[in-house]
Amino acid sequence: MFSEQGKCFDVAIDHGFFNEVSFLTGISDMKAAVETVVQAGPDCIQLSVGQARHLQAIPGSRKPGLVLRTDAANIYGNVLPRYLFSELIDKAIEHAVRLDAVAVCVNLLLLPNQPELHYQCVKNVTLLKSECEKYGMPLMVEPLVMLANEAKGGYMVDGDMDKILPLVRQAVELGADVIKADPCDHVEEYHRVIEVASGIPVLVRGGGRSSDEEIMSRTVELMKQGATGIVYGRNVIQHPNPAGMTKALMSIVHHGATEDQALSMLKTQE
């Protein structure tokens, strides 16, 4: 999952799992989307059980590792449904072994006034942890703190450090081998997330689409703050040049490129 430098860039292309039409932008043709990202050479690609075949059917040993998404949730729309869920796929770790995954990923959701959903997620993590230990499969937990939908619409990250820190710590306490964590409001404080993770590698989520300049600047600072890497999805697959964006971000994560160097690399590949 990690490079020789101990870093990781995981491109998330599992958005079709969540039954939201806006998430399909850039990935309607999954075979083409996967092939484009594979050619850019990230460390991992995050896919669902039904789409992992597009990665693992590519011949050769140098393709990115598969991170298998194990839970489907219905919390990403502008209006929350009456009943919220985050449901594990059946025999998730056996699927991961069969598909030759390098890790599995599961949500640890914290939405305002939704304790039942949080309970479901805690239960999912504990169930997966037992199976992961049995099969020697690394467990990536995604502590995701969300704003109330009435604040800014659906699926918006709450960057409040007082909410992010305890949820990250809970993920570690539940047995996460890797943390896929929210960004925070003030990126210069991100070292606090790294500290509370207690030595567990932290990969930072990208969130919604942002400008090239913002993404590069934020990624550079996150790496300076001690992040082990990133998990970006829509900022790659919905970009006009997904392969170029992947290569530019890889230069930051693995080679310490500056914002200007990464932007220059992106422009030369357009």
Q: Provide the pairing of β-strand 71-73 with 86-88.
A: antiparallel
pTM to 2 decimals? 0.93
Average pLDDT over residues 137-151: 89
Q: Count CA atoms within 13 Å of residue 136 on its CB side.
A: 1
Burial of residue 249 (CB within 10 Å: 0-12, 13-18, 19+) is buried
For 183-204, the DSSP string reads: --SSGGGTHHHHHHTTTS-EEE
pLDDT at 89: 96
- For helices 212-224 and 242-255, give the axis angle rounded to 10 degrees: 20
- For helices 212-224 and 259-268, give the axis angle rounded to 10 degrees: 140
Token reading at 218: 């934020």
Q: Does 43 have pLDDT greater than 90? A: yes
- The tens digit of pLDDT for each residue in 159-211 reads 899 999 999 999 999 999 999 998 888 999 999 999 999 999 999 998 777 89
Q: Does 151 have pLDDT greater than 70? A: no
pLDDT at 230: 97
Quick one: pLDDT band at residue 155, thresholds 50, 70, 90? low
Provide the 8-state DSSP code for 197.
T
Q: Does 269 have pLDDT greater than 80? A: no
Closest CA to 270 of 239, 249, 230, 237: 239
How far apart are the C-alpha atoms of 109 and 160, rounded to whole Å?
15
Average pLDDT over residues 108-132: 96
Token reading at 152: 């800014």
pLDDT at 18: 84
